[in-house]
Amino acid sequence: MKRPTENDVLGEFLISARSLTEYRAIFELIDADLRGRILDCPGGAASFVAEAAELGAHVLAADPVYANPPAELRELARTETERGSAYAGSHHERYRWDFYGDPDRLQAIRLTAATRFGDDLLANPGHYIAAQLPVLPFPDNTFDLALSSHLLFTYADRLDADFHLAALLELARVTTGEIRLYPLVDHSGRPQDDLIARLRKEVHDKGIPTELRPTHYEFHRGATEMLVLRPNRR
């Protein structure tokens, strides 16, 4: 795997391991949000599927990395967690540490989530679908809620506006309720206001309302909003 450099910043797409507690904070999730059919895309190595299922949610995660053998993916979850934590620690000034405290605590939380993910991957492999935006293998209106973090906008340096639009429309195709996307800055913390404004206009012209909604979670400095799409096909 390519390692990060100053020119390439984060390097390869990072496979992140986040917990249900983090998802609740990032997406402003309340208990009522966890009672329906939920898509996590990309799911990475998060423990969200496993933890939300214990609360009665029906969650599927989609990510191309799920095509890897489970043993390889479990190890990858650990090494990627360490890579992401090291990156955050070495760019300490780009982040607010209120939620995590310090880089060591961040890594501990993420390693716990990665372990939980690996266990659930073995126990419930059908909950993890090898697929990637902007084409998903689900029928129309499959999900009540879709969550997407740290892909769109995060990697705007390598995913262009056409990809973003196609991805948003695909998420809207498979979702009847809200689609929540976070963060709205790239991996170095640069706001993506122009791209967001363009995409909001294009999806609005296709009949999909959007809003910018505050979120109390802020890790990247300035990442205090999520983009919400509301296909509302019920």
pLDDT score for 5: 39
Q: What is the pLDDT of residues 3-61, one digit of tens each?
A: 333 333 445 788 999 999 999 999 999 999 998 999 999 999 999 999 999 999 999 99
pLDDT score for 13: 84
Name the percent of the chain lying above pLDDT 90: 89
Nearest to 18 by CA among 132, 100, 101: 100
C-alpha neighbours within 13 Å on the C-beta side of residue 150: 24
pTM here is: 0.92
CB of 60 within 8 A of CB of 127?
yes
* Whole-angstrom distance, CA of residue 112 vs CA of residue 47: 9
* Whole-angstrom distance, CA of residue 216 vs CA of residue 194: 23
Residue in the block written with tokens 């190595």: 45
* Whole-angstrom distance, CA of residue 144 vs CA of residue 45: 22
Q: What is the pLDDT of residues 149-161, one digit of tens each?
A: 999 999 999 999 9
Name the percent of the chain lying above pLDDT 70: 94
pLDDT score for 221: 93
Q: What is the pLDDT of residues 92-127, one digit of tens each?
A: 999 999 999 999 999 999 999 999 999 999 999 999
User: What residue ranges define each of the domains in the chain, with the CATH number in brackets?
Assistant: 20-229 (3.40.50.150)
pLDDT score for 233: 57
* Whole-angstrom distance, CA of residue 27 vs CA of residue 102: 22
